[in-house]
């Protein structure tokens, strides 16, 4: 798609150049920033379709920047892919919890980066506006108004927690949710819960999806997501 814009926030000039080269070759219009502060200045002038965000930046780091993006109404919905040299689970989880849509660990291939960018942009345009009541993905249909779920056209009875979890996954297929994000979505924030109770809930949900249980994928050390068909 022509004219989609990407903001690259990366302090290492050669990596920034490399990403820029690849994104331009894919037909994107590119803005660059070498710090979160520079990125904020760019955002005052233009709103990109997606942000590629390095975590380790001088000054404000990528976590804090992502949090501030999500907190401001104007930038809250811009998809963010974290690009980081760190590949520890804890960093990935922390990034997802401040609102990143996806992550890539360096070094990465240009082809994979392009595929991830396109997937995130596609997901954004495929997402229904909030308030859409019936959502269908593959064999699954979820009806928010009536709290009803069908698998292959057949009604399936879910607990309220299972329903909310499935709703979260179906609205953002492919996005990885940490256990804490799942708990927040299901019970509201500050609900005391263990990782284990989320795992148990997922087991129950998968069982009810029957032949389609593998639509809910485990992302080791991070959380869960709905497989993209
Ligand atoms: Ca860096």
Structural domains of the chain, ranges and CATH numbers in brackets: 5-125 (3.40.50.2300), 134-226 (1.10.10.10)
Angstrom CA distances, 93 to 89, 90, 100, 134, stand at 6, 5, 10, 30
Give the span between the Cα atoms of 149 and 153, in whole angstroms: 9
**What is the pLDDT tens value at each position of the chain, 229 positions in all?**
457 999 999 999 999 999 999 999 999 999 999 999 999 999 999 999 999 999 999 999 999 999 999 999 889 889 999 988 767 777 888 888 888 888 888 888 888 888 889 888 887 765 555 555 888 888 999 998 888 999 999 999 988 888 989 999 988 888 889 888 888 788 765 566 666 788 888 999 999 999 999 999 999 888 999 988 6
Structure token digits, residue 191: 């609900």
Give the span between the Cα atoms of 210 and 120, in whole angstroms: 28
Quote the ligand 1 centre to 77 CA distance (angstroms).
Answer: 24
Under the phi-then-psi rule, with left for phi > 0, alpha for psi from -120 to 50, and beta for the rest, what region is 210?
left
Stated pTM of the model? 0.62
Using a CB cutoff of 5 Å, list residues around ligand 1, an ion. Answer: 11, 54, 56
Backbone CA torsion sign across 117, 118, 123, 126: positive
């Amino acid at each position: 798609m022509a004219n989609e814009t990407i903001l690259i926030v990366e302090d290492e000039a050669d990596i920034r150049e490399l990403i820029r080269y690849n994104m331009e070759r894919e037909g994107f219009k590119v803005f660059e920033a070498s710090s979160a502060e520079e990125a904020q200045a760019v955002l005052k002038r233009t709103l990109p379709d997606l942000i590629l965000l390095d975590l380790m930046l001088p000054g404000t780091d990528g976590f804090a920047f992502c949090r501030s993006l999500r907190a401001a109404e104007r930038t809250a919905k811009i998809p963010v892919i974290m690009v980081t040299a760190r590949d520890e689970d804890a960093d990935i989880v922390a990034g997802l919890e401040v609102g990143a849509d996806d992550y890539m660990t360096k070094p990465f291939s240009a082809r994979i980066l392009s595929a991830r960018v396109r997937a995130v942009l596609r997901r954004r345009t495929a997402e229904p506006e909030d308030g859409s009541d019936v959502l269908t993905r593959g064999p699954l249909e979820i009806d928010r108004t009536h709290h009803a779920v069908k698998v292959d056209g057949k009604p399936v009875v879910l607990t309220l927690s299972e329903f909310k979890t499935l709703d979260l996954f179906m609205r953002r297929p492919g996005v990885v949710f940490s256990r804490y994000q799942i708990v927040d979505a299901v019970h509201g924030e500050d609900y005391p819960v263990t990782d284990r109770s989320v795992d148990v809930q997922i087991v129950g949900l998968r069982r009810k999806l029957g032949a389609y249980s593998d639509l809910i994928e485990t992302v080791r050390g991070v959380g869960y997501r709905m497989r993209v068909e």
